[in-house]
Amino acid sequence: MKIDHTVPLEYSTEENRIKIVGFWIFLGAEIMLFATLFASYFTLVERTGSGPAGSDIFDITPVLIETIVLLTSSFTIGLGIHAMRIGKLMAMLSFFAVTLALGAGFLGVEIYEFLHYIHVGAGLQTSAFTAILLTTLGTHGAHVTFGLFWGIMIVWQIKKRGLTPENANKSFIFSLYWHFLDVVWIFIFSFIYLKGMM
Amino acid sequence: MNELFPLKQVMGFVVSLVLTVVALLVYFLDMTFARGIAILLITAFLQAGLQLVVFMHAGETEDKGAIYTNIYYGLIIALVTIFGTLLCMIWGYE
């Protein structure tokens, strides 16, 4: 394996570089996945039937907490990657741990929010609007849940083996995934919640 | 600045918080639908661009061209899907 020391560790082999480009292509496909959900949401948003509309059930407080928590976690994982690049292993793992804790906090608030929706009679089968709302939010939430387990595995692996070109690459790719989830949330925050409460 | 907190990323974080506050004006101030949506479109796309460039380092290697081409392609398909669906299902045309 040829290791190029002029670039950060996560890019240092041919395979690593290709994996990063490959993950960007996956993220391109993810953009399209969420686009189909948004297209369906905008189509069905008025179809509330006898159920509640967005303005009846949305509450700014949990939404704001989720937004700040996810934005902060996106910042801390960026710092984690920076720490990895300057070789500060403990700082990197700490930033990753903070990121995952914030991710878990986000999920906690989102689960609370879902229970609240069901409690006020906005379940998955209430109306076309609640169905697409919960599907869109749920798809994002499922991505965060998956990311949480993925991140834990990476932290575990780095603790066990130290920083290698392989797990530096995994960490960087995981950071791309996490930032992407934040990007999707910004659109959910703007065009589902704020638009719905406007 | 401490070496663990590079200025570029700290500034990126501050700007993303400011953009969130600007987007929130839509909720706290009374404004027309068109103006509100215009503000949200601007803040959301600026936020997304910020994440891509500052935090995801989209342009830092020689694969920059391939990465941006792929992102723009994904974005175009996303916009065509969303506005095409709106045209067919909601707006209609004469």
CATH number, position A48? 1.20.120.80
Asked if residue A1 is part of any domain, the answer here is no
Q: Which residues in chain A are contacts of B55 at CB distance < 8 A?
A: 74-75, 78, 175, 179
Residue B1 has pLDDT above 60, yes or no: no
Asked if residue A2 is part of any domain, the answer here is no
B86: nearest CA partner in chain A: A43
Q: Which residues in chain A are contacts of B15 at CB distance < 8 A?
A: none
For residue A9, the model assigns a pLDDT of 81
Mean pLDDT (chain A, rounded): 94
Question: Could you read off the pLDDT of A167-183 as tens digits, one per residue?
Answer: 999 999 999 999 999 99
**Which residues 6+ apart lie within 8 Å of B25 measured at CB?**
B31, B39
Q: How many domains does chain A have?
A: 1
Instruction: Name all contacts of A114-119 with Cβ < 8 Å and 24+ positions apart.
Output: A114/A138, A114/A141, A116/A57, A116/A59, A116/A62, A117/A57
Q: Is the backbone of residue A121 left (phi > 0), alpha (psi -120 to 50) or beta?
A: left
Asked if residue A50 is part of any domain, the answer here is yes
Query: What proportion of chain A, given as a percentage, has pLDDT over 90?
Result: 89
CA-atom Rg of chain A in angstroms? 19
Residue A19 has pLDDT above 60, yes or no: yes
Nearest to A74 among B51, B67, B84 (CB): B51
For residue A5, the model assigns a pLDDT of 73
Query: Residue A22: which pLDDT band, with cuts at 50, 70 and 90?
Result: very high
Angle at B75 between CA A67 and CA A105, to 5 degrees: 20
Kindly report the pTM of this predicted structure: 0.93
Asked if residue A21 is part of any domain, the answer here is yes
Angle at B38 between CA B37 and CA B42, to 5 degrees: 115
User: Rounded CA gap, A196 and A53, in Å?
Assistant: 8
Provide DSSP, B26-39. HHHS---HHHHHHH
For residue A2, the model assigns a pLDDT of 66
Question: Could you read off the pLDDT of A43-83 as tens digits, one per residue?
Answer: 999 999 999 999 999 999 999 999 999 999 999 999 999 99
User: Rounded CA gap, A175 and A173, in Å?
Assistant: 5
Question: Could you read off the pLDDT of A90-108 as tens digits, one per residue?
Answer: 999 999 999 999 999 999 9
For residue A90, the model assigns a pLDDT of 93
ipTM (interface predicted TM):
0.92
Residue A155 has pLDDT above 90, yes or no: yes
CB pair distance less than 8 Å for A183 and B24 = no
Chain B interface disruption, residue of A33, A186, A187, A188, most B CBs within 10 A:
A186
- Containing structural domain, residue A135: 9-197
For residue B55, the model assigns a pLDDT of 85
Taking residues B44-63, what's their average pLDDT? 87
Residue A112 has pLDDT above 60, yes or no: yes
A83 min Cα distance to partner chain B (Å): 6
Nearest to A42 among B13, B78, B86 (CB): B86
Asked if residue A73 is part of any domain, the answer here is yes
Asked if residue A3 is part of any domain, the answer here is no
Number of A to B CB contacts under 8 A, please give it: 134
Residue A193 has pLDDT above 70, yes or no: yes
Interface of A with B in 59-98 (CB under 8 A): 60, 64, 67-68, 71-72, 74-75, 78-79, 82-83, 86, 88, 91
B71 min Cα distance to partner chain A (Å): 6
Asked if residue A4 is part of any domain, the answer here is no
B93 min Cα distance to partner chain A (Å): 16
